[in-house]
Amino acid sequence: MTWYFSNLARFRAEREGLDVFSQNVDWFVPSGWRIGEGAHLVLDAEIVAGGRVYPVYLQYPEMFPHSPPSVFPRGETGRWSRHQFGPGGELCLEFGPDNWIPELTGIQLIESAHRLLQGENPGVGEKGVVQSRHTDTLGQKLRSEYSRLLMTRSLEAFLPALPVRAPATCNFVSAHHQDSVIHVIDKITLGDGINWVDPSVPSQFASEYLDRPAPICRLAMGEVLPPISTYQDFRAACAAFGVTIDNRYAVIVQGADVHVYFLWEPDNTAVEVAVIPASPDVPRLDPAHELLKSKSVALIGCGSLGSKVGTMLARSGTGRFVLVDDDILLPDNLVRHDLDWRDIGTHKAAALERRLQLVNPLVETTRWRSRLAGQESNESAEGVLKTIGECDLIFDATANPDILNLVSAVCSVTAKPVLWAEVFGGGIGGLIARCRPNLEPPPQYMRRAIENWFAERGPPPVKATRSYETGRDGVPLIADDADVSAIAAHAARFAIDTLIGRIPSLFPNSVYAIGLGAGSVFTQPFETYPIEVGPPLVIAPKQELSSEEMAAEIANVLRLFKAKSDETAAAKQDSQTPET
């Protein structure tokens, strides 16, 4: 119910209070109450300030007295004040949502409006300045700016190196959105042909958006900027310092200031574009994360869980990824996947590669559109296993026992840590597990211990990966995006801890069953169980050969190389024999 019906006493107090107030001052003249748009209570009035009469209306919000009234110009569309939300818009006064209390009344808003208008207009033909009670955020300042150039710290650091009045060309990339167009300069070509490339801009950014060349020139301090009265005036001024304007955009640098211009010859217009300043260089991760830049992760499975874990690791600073997945991204995958419609129909490995590089332009990637433990050539499978074995961490996001067996073999040969995760059907939880050589048993042994642990405590959870089993009511037990994201977040933290190599680890156990709901061994959300998997296996002593036996085996290997060499030489000789 509207406030003036539910709080009749306050309704009367507001009316009577403003009536008495108007009798005690000579600059406020109310003209009547009415019901405005949206059933808002409105008082029309006039405020006299600086020798001028300002027609206004005081509008009470639906949530009054818990939120403040507003003062608007009445019947005028011009701008009255520097403290106004656009021409004809609400006046920005001393009371707003951030400092309003229910004990205040409409009188305080009227008084504040008078102080603002009188302060900025102390007398006929005079102008004054009224200090703002708050500072607009960057987002508030840019709300009305459709076209914006984003400055990066790399670009900001490079621009002072531009020679004065030495015309250069920048690659001006424009990303068009529904309510704005954002420009980025990803490359600058100097007059001597030397290219500067911004390392903080993703390499594929220009290829996915509209890019065009634009002139860029640095002026000396004190030089006059080109006028924007008309396109022709701007063009003539630029020609005076050696810059030819035949493009839609131009960039002028002067000291620490960057000026960007949109130029449109058909209308003879030149308009300055808003510039988003470079963010200050403030650390957003703890120093230990710096180590991740030199680390590599083999991510096997780029589906819902793998895509989320990979993106989180890229955001955390991981420097290199090997992505392995043969699957295609389809529309139905989007209910849980970190990718979106822009990548539909592409291989998940390729799409995730793009996603990681857009999140962290410094990321290096290798992708294999292959299926481990699937119908692939032996040579291809060997190449994939060799590549993932060179990484600092192998992450299996497939929940496929056959793939985990292959990963376990790689772990045994290369002594690299393996981490895997699963999401259980029905949103009841998931599992994260870590195998570090010489600290835990091999993954297949750990998996057996995990299965035994669940079997001893109740019905095992339903797997929520490739196939979905059916619950008692016939509805598939499917985990949703929130379930997958929760397990992915825990798995990513597990991976970061492993890559950093914290001693002691933040995770005292190797395996955790994480509950997100009731089912299987879980009785409620956030119920977590560490699972013991036993000590690492005792490795049998390596068989040693005598020196004579070693010599004999080396001779056998050398004979194989000699045979290969002879075969190659014979084939070369045959290819050089002329036909008769």
Average pLDDT per run of 10 along the chain, which is 580 residues long? 91 96 97 95 96 96 95 94 91 92 96 96 88 82 92 95 92 94 96 91 91 94 93 95 91 93 96 95 89 96 96 97 95 94 95 96 93 61 86 95 88 93 92 94 92 90 53 58 96 97 92 95 95 82 78 86 83 65
Sequence-separated (6 or more) residues with CB below 8 Å from residue 573: none
- In this predicted structure, what is the pLDDT of residue 569? 81
- In this predicted structure, what is the pLDDT of residue 38? 92
- In this predicted structure, what is the pLDDT of residue 355? 96
The SS3 call for residue 456 is: helix
Protein fold of 287-445+478-531 = Rossmann fold (3.40.50)
Q: At 55, phi and psi to the nearest 5?
A: -75, 125
- In this predicted structure, what is the pLDDT of residue 149? 97
Centroid of chain to Cα 407:
31
Q: Which CATH class is domain 140-276?
A: alpha beta
Contact 32, 54 (CB under 8 A): no
Contact 173, 211 (CB under 8 A): yes
Domain boundaries, the chain: 3-134, 140-276, 287-445+478-531
Sequence-separated (6 or more) residues with CB below 8 Å from residue 79: 86, 87, 88
Contact 419, 507 (CB under 8 A): no
Sequence-separated (6 or more) residues with CB below 8 Å from residue 349: 302, 323, 324, 325, 326, 367, 368, 369
pTM score, whole prediction: 0.78
- In this predicted structure, what is the pLDDT of residue 540? 61
What's the sign of the alpha-carbon dihedral 147, 152, 154, 160? positive
At 341, list the tokens: 């419609």
- In this predicted structure, what is the pLDDT of residue 334? 93
User: Domain 3-134 belongs to what architecture?
Assistant: Roll (3.10)
